[in-house]
Amino acid sequence: MKMLINVAETVVADALRGMAAAHPELIVDVENRVIARRDAPVEGKVAIVSGGGSGHEPLHGGFVGHGMLSAACPGEVFTSPVPDQMVRAAAAVDSGAGVLFVVKNYTGDVLNFDMAAELAEDEGIQVAKVLVNDDVAVTDSLYTAGRRGTGATLFVEKIAGAAAEEGQPLERVEAIARQVNANARSFGVALSACATPAKGSPTFDLPPGELELGVGIHGEPGRERRAMMTSGEIADFSVDAVLEDLRPTDPVLVLVNGMGATPLLELYGFNAEVQRVLTSRGVSVARTLVGNYVTSLDMAGASVTLCQVDEELLRLWDAPVSTAGLRWGM
């Protein structure tokens, strides 16, 4: 497969060098694999640190900046960052107000962030953690015990990030992050497999004319495979899968997320179908975001994430944000 790379071994480092050149408002430590706000630490502000395997961009490095993350730790492609990265990131952005780790529910991420929290606390850094586990497709998967962490990560990082930007204390920022995760559910669909640079070929077999319902962001199996469906049929299946579990009574934020290789023309058309289903199910939509935000390299497909919001959560969602991957109100 053709890829715009030099060699597989330097893909992440090359991307970080390019990110540093494009975003002087960030400090990008290529050697130690840490991306941080240039103005960090901000006095009196809770720092929010996240991270995970590369290949999901703009998650997480693209969400470092005002109103979102203080720092992010990119691992190798589809591989958890190591605890040393997380401790280094926490130390770089901690103002003394504490650090919140946002952790997607994948076994490697959970173990390494747990270890990093212990090491950071040994260095006198107060750490809280929130686990994102929003994917309703399957209960356990190849990489997780329990539900996978997917699109709701964006909602957690944005809303908790806004609360931290306001100067709210660590306990409150953590509680808001947990509330967002509890209020959010996701479901993804793959139309094609992704290819990692190291493998250079599709990571799983998805025959022509078939799709994977409930796919994970690393290509993990979902609920079932079916013959190709229309956009409307996929929206019916995906939204109903989310609503079977969420059952919102308040308005929702909607994320129609591309997996990396699906053009906006298709994503906006898919969003029209998602909105149709939500309207028919009596669900009120507060805000909608469409685009590639939590990706899986070059996978074609999309995911739907719904997050029930009250007035405070909606206010925090609307608050200004300025990052490489998300920007408004500045």
HEC string of the chain equals CCCCCCCHHHHHHHHHHHHHHHCCCEEEECCCCEEEECCCCCCCCCEEEEEEEECCCCCCHHHEEECCECEEEEEEECCCCCHHHHHHHHHHHCCCCCEEEEEECCHHHHHHHHHHHHHHHHCCCCEEEEEECCECCCCCECCECCCCCCCHHHHHHHHHHHHHHCCCCHHHHHHHHHHHHHCEEEEEEECCCCECCCCCCECCCCCCCEEEECCCCCCCCCCEEEECCCHHHHHHHHHHHHHHHHCCCCCEEEEEEECECCCHHHHHHHHHHHHHHHHHCCCCEEEEEEECCCCCCCECEEEEEEEECCHHHHHHHHCCEEECCCEECC
Q: Which of 23, 60, 66, 218 is catalytic?
A: 218
Q: Among this protein's residues, is 218 annotated catalytic? A: yes
Q: Among this protein's residues, is 60 annotated catalytic? A: no
Q: Which of 23, 56, 60, 66 is catalytic?
A: 56
Active-site positions read 56, 218
